[in-house]
Chain A
Amino acid sequence: MLEEHRDRVYGHALYCLRDPDDAADLTQEAFLRLWRRGPEIDEPRLAAWLMRVVRNLCIDHVRRRRTVVVHFGRPDPDALDQLPDGDGPDTGPSHGVAQQESRREMMAALATLPPETRSIMLMHYWQGMKLHEIATALDLNLNSVKVRVHRARKALRAVLDEQAAETATAKRMNG
């Protein structure tokens, strides 16, 4: 069970929080909760239950970062550079740099979303969950999930377009 779900849980926390240490802590907490609940969670509901738990843990964590005065440290924008590049036809060094840059921009854009919406976007676009599965897992109305995805798409595109414009300006100034 742990082997089957750990990468999804850890990956969700990692992309949501952009901090490998926090992702590790939350993954541990999610599986401990699962172990404590034990037989209450039947197999078909297990993946959805875990996603709800890790999503709630991420939301709590982000809120705690904001509301408690303690400085937890800002997420390291380079923290995800250790992840492997996807398998593509062009895997030369320049392609790798471009991929990293694109990934960094996407992560920065995702970070501008509220944590609840960020989780939904990761579940759908990265983890491949269908919207009705997300609605069931999070106990939300399907239409509410659709609206959030739609708004988040617009918000992300606005941020990404802005980033692209800034990059183009910087290139013009340097070139």
Chain B
Amino acid sequence: MKKNCATIELLLAEYASGDLADADRALVTRHLAGCAACRDELAREQRLREQLGALPPAVCPPAVTAAIRSAVRAETAARAAGRPRRRTRWIGAGAALGLAAAAVLLVAVLPERAPRSPGAVDVASIDSVTITDHDRDRARARRDVEWALSYTAGIVDRTEKESIAGVLRHLVTAGPSGS
């Protein structure tokens, strides 16, 4: 019975790389003999293998190696001095989270535009100043949120990030609705 093409296609990468077990290799060879579509697919697989395999090797720059050694030395020194790494990182993460929360609150509390008060004296000048200040504050708050998000994401590992991201998502979702 002719083996299903979909099953054979899944084996073509290993067939082309020579990693297929003998029994499967024989199966694929038999199928290819009678299936032009799978032979075309194998040809595509081989072309792709050549193209990706021809990507040149990358050499890690010496500066990166030096930076790794330097960072390891710094952490070794910090440990020797009795500063627990994770606590330090959590303080940083906590600070970033706090800043993000404060910024989100600021965005939420500040109105999009300062309320206009048509009857007030010298409305035009006050209004224009207020709008400028509010816009600037909102822009600054947004930048703070963005910075804190990227900072937090950069210094905590995946698991930590998930919990922090959950809090931030909640804050960001809740924030703008107040403005």
Contact = CB atoms under 8 A, between A and B. Distances in A.
B14 A84 contact: no
Interface of A: 2-3, 6-7, 9-11, 14-15, 20, 23-24, 27-28, 31-32, 35-36, 56, 60, 64, 68-70, 83-86, 99, 102-103, 106, 121-122, 124-126, 128, 130-132, 143, 146-147, 149-150, 153, 156-157, 160
B88 interface: no
Interface string B1-14: 00000000111111
Residues of B in contact with A, size category: 35 or more
Nearest to B44: A157
Nearest to B153: A64
Given A9-B60, A86-B56, A150-B10, A24 B67 contact: yes
B64 A10 contact: yes
B150 to A, nearest CB: 5
Q: How would you classify the secondary structure of chain A's contact residues: helix, strand, loop or mixed?
A: helix
B11 A146 contact: yes
B104 to A, nearest CB: 13
B58 A2 contact: no
Given A68-B149, A70-B149, A131-B19, A86 B10 contact: no
A99 B147 CA distance: 39
